Amino acid sequence: MLDARDDQGDGRGLTPKEVRDQLVTLYLAGHDTTSHALSWTFYLLSQNPGARQRLERELGGPEER
């Protein structure tokens, strides 16, 4: 981001505030999508006991501890 330039505008780089704002946006977007993906994964596993058991076996679930 520090080396990015506006090819269609004045060719300037991002200001420190713009870099910070872009990084905050990326962080929040990544957090949001990850939390949604994990929520759906756990929900779908709760609806499919066979898949959950296979996953637990693969990960070394409670019965193998």
φ/ψ (deg, to 5) at 4: -65, 140
Rounded Cα distance between 25 and 51, Å, is 35
Rounded Cα distance between 50 and 48, Å, is 6
When pLDDT is cut at 50, 70 and 90, the band that residue 63 belongs to is low
pLDDT tens for residues 4-48?
777 777 878 888 898 899 899 988 888 888 999 999 999 999 999
Please give the model's pTM, rounded to 2 decimal places: 0.54
